[in-house]
Each structure stands twice: as C-alpha cells, then as structure tokens.
C-alpha cells in the first residue's frame, strides 16, 4: 500500500487522466450494454438436449402450452354429430388467428386424453411459434376471442402458466436501471451527509458512479468474450449497477473516513493519504478479494445463467476496489481538505455510543451471544422449510379471467398438469401410437396424445404430449416426469419447459456443496493469513454461513409465506422461492457481508497489537468502526431496496434477500455476536499454531507474542477467571 500510494501521489495527473478517459468511454457505451445482453440458459441436462432437438423441428413446443377449455352446450358430448363441426370451426379459427402456432385438439386427434368428465368438454393445447416465446396474456386473449367467434354455442375459457403469472406481477411496468440507481444514490447521499457533515459526502458517491460506469463498460466488453453458449443475462445490468453502487460507496467510505481521522490527528494531507492507504486501503484490498470468492465460486455451477452472473459480478468488488485504491487517494490528495467543509461532525475520536455499546456487550457477552445466536438460529430454522420448486398455478393468481380458465379446467375433470404438458420427441412417427398406449397406463398421468395436424409431421418424426395429473416442477409434481422417462423407449427425447426447470434445479443444487466448500475453505485460509489467527476466521466463516441461512429464512417468510409481500410489492405469495435466488444470494452475500467482518476485525487487531488487550482491542475496533459499518450497511441496503422494485421476480427476490442479509449481518452478527464471541474467546482469538503459521507463510515476527505498554495481557474473560491455555503460539503485537 505504501508503494501504491507513493506512485499515485507522484503521478496524480496521469492517474486522473486515465480515469477521466475510462469514465467518458463508459458514459458513451453504457446505453449500449442492454442491447448486448441476452436471455437464455444453457445446461447439459436431458431436458435441455431434448429441447434443442424439439426446437429444431417444432419450435415453441418446448414451452408450456396455452390451454383453451371448450364446454359443449347442454345435451351435447364430443360424440354428438354437431360437435365435430363446431370443434373443426374452432381449429380453423385458431389457425387463422395465429397461423404460426401449433395446436393439439380433439378435432385433429380424436384422443380421449383431451376429453373431460362425461365427454361434455374438451381442451386445446396451443404452442408458440418459437422456443423462448411465451403464451402470454395477449396470446391467450387472441385465441380465446377467435374460438368464441367461431363457435358461439360453446363456453370457452383460456389460460396458461405465463398468463397466470402475469396476473401476480406488480403494476410498476419495466424497471429502469437509471431510476433505481438514482433512488439508491439519493439514499446513500443522505447517509453520507450524516456521517461526514460536509461536502466530503459527495466524494464516495462520485467514486461509486465512476465505478458503476466502469463496471458497465467491462460488461459490454465481456459480451464479446463470453461464448455464445453462456450469454450474459439482462438481470446482470440491474445487479451490477445497484450492488456496485453500494459496495463502491462502502469501500470509498472506509478510506475517506480513515483519511479524515489521520487529518484530525494532525498529519499533513499527503501523509494522511498514505496512512489511510496503509490501514484502510489494506482492508479494502483484502475485502475485495474475499467478496470475489463467492462470485468466482458460482462458476462451478453447471448453469450458464449462474456462471454469467458470477463472472459479471466479479467486476463489482474488483472495480470498487480499484477505484477506491487509485482514483480516490489522488482526489483526496488534491482537493480533500477543501471539500471537507463545513465539518458539522468531528473526526478522529471514537464514537461514544459505540464505545458504550461495546462495553455493554463485553459485560453481558453470554446474554448477547445467546440472543444473537437465537435470532439467527430461529431464522435459519425457518430456512429449512424453503421450497425452491416452481410455484403451482393456483398460487400464481387468485382471481381474473385466467384463474377462471384454470377453475373451468379442473371443474371439467382435467388436471392442472395440462398447463405443464410434457412433449416427447419420437424420431420414428410410426412408434408414436405404441408410446401413447404405454403412457396411458402410467398412474401419474391423465393421458397422452400424438400431436396431429398442420406442422406436426416434419421429417417423419412425431411429438407425443403427456398430460400429468400434477404440474411438473412444483412441490406436488410427484413422479410424473420420471415415469415418462422410464416408460418411453430409448432414442426418444423427453423435454418441455417444466422438465427443463426441474433438471436445472437438480443440476444447480447438486453442485451447491462444492460451491459451499470452495468458498468456506478459501475464505478461511485468507482470513487466517490476514488476521494471523485460527479461531477468528473459523468463527467468521461459521457466522457468515449462519447469517446467509438466516437471510434465507427472511426470504421464506416474505416470499414463500407472504409476510408483508402484498404491502411491499402489491402481489401475492407464490408459495415458493425462485429456483436461482438461494445460490445467487449465497454468491453475493457471503463475500459482501464478510467485508464488515474484515473492517471491524482489522481495527480490533490493530488495537490489540497496540495495547496487548483483547478487551481494549474490541472497544477500539467497535467504537471506531460501529458508525462506519452501520452507515455502510444502510447505504448498501438503500441500493438493494431500490433493486427490489424490479418487476423481475428473480431480481426482486435476490435484492430483497441481500438487503435483509446485509442488515442482519451488520446489526446482529457484527455489532452483537462479533464483540460478544471475541470477548468470550479471549486470548484464544490470537492462537496460531506454529505449523499452521509455516503453512500460511507467516514470518516469525508475525507469530510471536509481544506485550503492550502494560507488559501483560488484560484478562478478557473476567477479572479473576484465567483465559484458556492453548498449545501453539498466540500472536500479538507486530
């Protein structure tokens, strides 16, 4: 850090010019980023490979169908002579209204799988033209209107999974990255003004905006580098912009705050910059590495969407760190003292509130530890009930025309599983009838039908559509998908959107233990090297895991059980959590929340090295960083709260989970559990076995205990109770 700060101070103009060029290029190219982002998920699973083949010949048959429920007039059944004329008229009207769509109907197939109870109703399955298209509310309305006009004697309802889901979206329309960024920036500015009480509050915000522009520029470049099989999802732009804003402000806040402390202590400006870089800059650098670990570990997940977000997300801590450690020191050395006006808040002294707080936690450390662990444990227990399956159609919307269509479907004896009908590609169309016969005898299925009519027989292949009793991919799905796969002969391919989602969840969470292990082990090693301790990093990793689990618990309470969801977003609970939210929350939250651990423990360690007292180290660390960590958490919370207004349910849940996790971590873990447990552990905090020190390549001077000015360690368990004796060498003052 000394070498870096020395170089920066000698080449202020060059560094400033370089960042000016980067910022200008970022401003020019940032509007083009969204046009380079692409939707889509690539994953090597049976359903994905089946969908690739199905899409080649049958386009959007890979998607969940729209369903039209046709109720016949009183006294008529599907066997009545006049019914055939009416149903053929409906087919013709649908073909005219949407010529590119493929339909599966009783008029074209004569299949009993499309007939309801008593033969008085039938259904039509409608598939979009292309893979990735949805049977949206517009399409359902168009098809329903065409069918009603062609057969006015029938009672017709239309519905689809996507139409039902649209009925449970908030009415905010499309989210704007710029609008959400503005909301987050205003909230951050309020907090910064409270922290500094001077125009210095604008400095971290300016650094953050430059960071966000740089991140967008890097994402733009990444879209040219990432392979076509791993597109960068549009959600990345929201996540990087808002989370980047918060994290960049946090890092800049740490450096500026330490610079201000050194200035208040009487140091000349350039020397204050050097000391701030040596102390706070080192913490920022270390935090940036730790924050990157969870994101980098996302690349082990065999899912292109998760990998793309992980790679893109690496730009958040890396860019925030780069700006805080290069541009910010140059600006502070040039104009820092001039913008630190009118200085409504003093610097350089410990916070009286947080000093009293730390003394109180140390005094009641057992109660504080029990309370903190109780809160996290209760929420983690709630997380054990998490449901990451697809939401049932009944949970998607409780009223409206599409819900009426769902009720008409089930009232006629059809299963709701028709909305997730499963297509199977049969390479030889002559084998389709025997496959249908086999599937008709599977107890988990309502029936099966060979699709027939225009567009259904290209190249001699065929599509067999299986209709399960329960919706595939939901918690109530049962064994229908597995039964289909074991029943159809080798060479056939079973796909569909619901099957793909099921395989996606399985492949993603099968790799979660590896993701968990990589992050935990590497974080522990880095913290052990940085803190020169074994117990502190072990505690940090375990508490961070518990904190992430607790954030899952809050996510379950809100989005799965609906606590406050309608008041906050004007929607109802889906009864489940988005399949990708937990793994992405882990990737982002683990590293981000560990930042606060590093900030506080760095000052605790600094105080301990100077005084030789664990208690004094805790008091100094918390009193010096308490307001800083709280402010940083509030800033990040505002950014994530702004992100949670997105109309994309995945982004919304990720943002809400991260926001809850940040507040939980800052308040319960860092301000309550951390000082309580460090106080309880006493001298054991600084234990570093000689063998471990050699493995971590710590110098002998870094693992040799030295005393502070008193010549002895102050007891930190109690005035009379000795601290535990551990083998190895406790570390002390450098």
Largest CA distance in the chain: 104
Instruction: Report strand pairing: 687-688 vs 445-450.
Output: unpaired
Q: Which residue has the tokens 């690496």?
A: 314
Number of H helices, E strands in the chain: 30, 10
Q: What is the pLDDT of residue 173?
A: 44
Mean per-residue pLDDT, 308-320: 89
In whole angstroms, give the CA distance from residue 152 to residue 639: 53
In whole angstroms, give the CA distance from residue 204 to residue 541: 29
- E strand segments, 219-285: none
Contacts of 577 (CB under 8 A, 6+ apart): 386, 387, 388, 555, 556, 559, 560, 653
Six token digits for residue 635 = 């800033």
Give Rg (Cα) of the chain. Answer: 30
Of 166-175, 392-401, 720-729, the least confident: 720-729
pLDDT band for 594, please (50, 70, 90 cuts): confident
DSSP-assigned letter for residue 448 = E
Q: What is the pLDDT of residue 28?
A: 93
How many alpha carbons lie under 13 Å from residue 77 in its C-beta half-sphere? 7
Q: What is the pLDDT of residue 230?
A: 65
- pTM, whole model, 2 decimals? 0.82
Mean per-residue pLDDT, 506-532: 87
Q: What is the pLDDT of residue 709?
A: 32
Mean per-residue pLDDT, 437-465: 91
| Structural element, H or E, at residue 613 | none
Q: What is the pLDDT of residue 723?
A: 38
Residue 695 vs residues 483, 529, 532: alpha-carbon distances, Å? 52, 10, 12
Which of 575, 549, 551, 546 has its CA nearest to residue 387? 575
Question: How high is the mean pLDDT of the chain?
Answer: 86
What percent of the chain stands above pLDDT 90?
Answer: 49
Mean per-residue pLDDT, 628-653: 83
- E strand segments, 72-222: 102-104, 121-127, 155-160
Residue 575 has pLDDT above 60, yes or no: yes
Residue 675 has pLDDT above 70, yes or no: yes
Of 325-329, 443-447, 468-472, 686-690, the least confident: 686-690
In whole angstroms, give the CA distance from residue 644 to residue 245: 14
In whole angstroms, give the CA distance from residue 274 to residue 280: 10
Q: What is the pLDDT of residue 705?
A: 41
Q: What angle do CA 327, 332, 337 make, to 5 degrees?
A: 165
* 3-class SS of residue 173: coil
Residue 90 has pLDDT above 90, yes or no: yes
In whole angstroms, give the CA distance from residue 660 to residue 637: 8
Q: What is the pLDDT of residue 256?
A: 94
* 3-class SS of residue 65: coil
| Structural element, H or E, at residue 688 | strand 687-688
pLDDT in tens, 683-708: 898 888 888 888 887 765 555 443 33
Q: What is the pLDDT of residue 728?
A: 42
How far from the centroid of its chain's Cα atoms is residue 656's Cα? 9
Of 7-21, 80-94, 447-461, 635-649, the least confident: 635-649
Peptide bond into 167 cis (omega under 30): no
How many alpha carbons lie under 13 Å from residue 725 in its C-beta half-sphere? 1
Residue 485 has pLDDT above 80, yes or no: yes
Q: What is the pLDDT of residue 512?
A: 85
Q: What domains lie within the chain, and their CATH numbers?
A: 1-36+198-344 (1.20.1640.10)
Q: What are phi and psi of 92, to 5 degrees?
A: -65, -40
Q: What is the pLDDT of residue 177?
A: 65
Q: Which residue has the higher pLDDT, 559 or 711?
A: 559
Which strand ranges, in their side-by-side order, compose the sheet holding 422-426? Answer: 445-450, 462-468, 422-426, 493-494
Mean per-residue pLDDT, 391-409: 85
Six token digits for residue 45 = 């699973």
């Amino acid at each position: 850090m000394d070498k870096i700060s020395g170089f920066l101070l000698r080449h202020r103009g060059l560094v400033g010019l370089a960042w000016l060029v980067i910022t200008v290029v970022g401003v020019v190219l940032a509007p083009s980023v969204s046009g380079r982002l692409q939707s889509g998920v690539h994953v090597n699973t049976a359903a994905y490979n089946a969908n690739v083949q199905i899409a080649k010949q049958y386009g959007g048959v890979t998607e969940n169908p729209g369903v039209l429920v046709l109720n016949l007039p009183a006294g008529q059944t599907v066997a009545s002579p006049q019914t055939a004329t009416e149903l053929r008229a409906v087919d013709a009207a649908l073909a005219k209204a949407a010529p590119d769509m493929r339909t599966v109907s009783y008029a074209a197939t004569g299949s009993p799988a499309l007939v309801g109870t008593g033969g008085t109703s039938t259904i039509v399955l409608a598939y979009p033209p292309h893979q990735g298209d949805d049977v949206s509310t517009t399409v359902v309305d168009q098809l329903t209107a065409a069918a009603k006009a062609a057969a006015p004697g029938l009672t017709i309802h239309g519905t689809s999974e996507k139409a039902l889901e649209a009925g449970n979206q908030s009415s905010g329309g499309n989210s704007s990255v710029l609008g959400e960024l503005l909301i987050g920036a205003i909230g951050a500015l309020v907090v910064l003004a409270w922290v500094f009480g001077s125009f210095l509050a604008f400095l971290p915000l300016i650094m953050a905006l430059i960071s966000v522009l740089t991140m967008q520029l890097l994402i733009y470049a990444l879209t040219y580098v990432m392979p076509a099989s791993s597109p960068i999802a549009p959600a990345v732009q929201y996540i990087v912009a808002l989370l980047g804003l918060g994290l960049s402000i946090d890092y800049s806040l740490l450096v500026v705050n330490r610079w201000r402390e050194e200035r208040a202590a009487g140091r000349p400006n350039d020397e204050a910059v050097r000391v701030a870089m040596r102390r706070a800059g080192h913490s920022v650098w270390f935090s940036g590495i730790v924050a990157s670990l969870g994101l980098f570990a996302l690349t082990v997940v065999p899912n292109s969407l998760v990998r793309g977000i992980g790679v893109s997300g690496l730009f958040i801590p890396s860019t925030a760190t780069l700006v805080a450690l290069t541009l910010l020191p140059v600006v502070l050395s040039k104009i820092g003292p001039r913008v630190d006006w009118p200085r409504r808040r003093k610097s350089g002294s410990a916070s009286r509130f947080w000093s009293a707080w730390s003394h109180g936690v140390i005094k009641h450390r057992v109660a504080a530890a029990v309370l903190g662990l109780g809160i996290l444990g209760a929420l983690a227990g709630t997380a054990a009930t998490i449901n990451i399956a697809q939401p049932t159609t009944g949970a998607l919307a409780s009223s409206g025309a599409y819900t009426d269509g769902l009720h008409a479907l089930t009232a006629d004896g059809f299963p709701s599983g028709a909305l997730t009908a499963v297509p199977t590609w049969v390479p030889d169309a002559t084998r389709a009838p025997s496959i249908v016969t086999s599937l008709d005898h599977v107890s988990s299925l309502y029936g099966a039908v060979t699709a027939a009519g225009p567009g259904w027989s290209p190249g001699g292949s065929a599509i067999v559509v299986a209709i399960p009793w329960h919706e595939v991919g939901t918690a109530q799905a049962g064994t229908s998908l597995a039964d289909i796969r074991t029943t159809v002969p080798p060479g056939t391919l079973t796909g569909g959107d619901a099957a793909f989602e099921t395989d996606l969840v399985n492949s993603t969470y099968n790799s979660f233990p590896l993701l968990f292990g990589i992050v935990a082990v590497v974080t522990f090693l880095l913290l052990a090297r940085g803190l020169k301790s074994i117990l502190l990093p072990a505690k940090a990793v375990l508490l961070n895991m518990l904190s992430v689990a607790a954030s899952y618990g809050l996510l379950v309470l809100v989005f799965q059980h609906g606590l406050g969801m309608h008041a906050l977003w004007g929607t109802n609970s889906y009864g489940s959590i988005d399949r990708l939210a937990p793994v992405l929350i882990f990737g982002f939250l683990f590293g981000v929340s560990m930042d606060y651990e590093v900030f506080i423990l760095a000052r605790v360690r600094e105080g301990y090295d100077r005084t030789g007292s664990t208690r004094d180290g805790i008091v100094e660390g918390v009193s010096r960083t308490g307001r800083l960590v709280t402010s940083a958490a509030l800033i990040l919370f505002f950014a994530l709260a702004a992100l949670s207004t997105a109309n994309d349910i995945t982004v919304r849940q990720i943002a809400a989970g991260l926001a809850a996790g940040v507040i939980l971590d800052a308040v319960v873990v860092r301000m309550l559990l951390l000082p309580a447990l460090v106080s309880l552990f006493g001298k054991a905090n600084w234990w570093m076995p000689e063998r471990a020190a050699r493995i971590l390549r710590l110098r002998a001077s870094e693992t040799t205990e030295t005393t502070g000015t008193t010549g002895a360690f102050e007891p930190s368990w109690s005035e009379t109770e000795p601290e535990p004796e551990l083998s190895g060498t406790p570390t002390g003052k450098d």
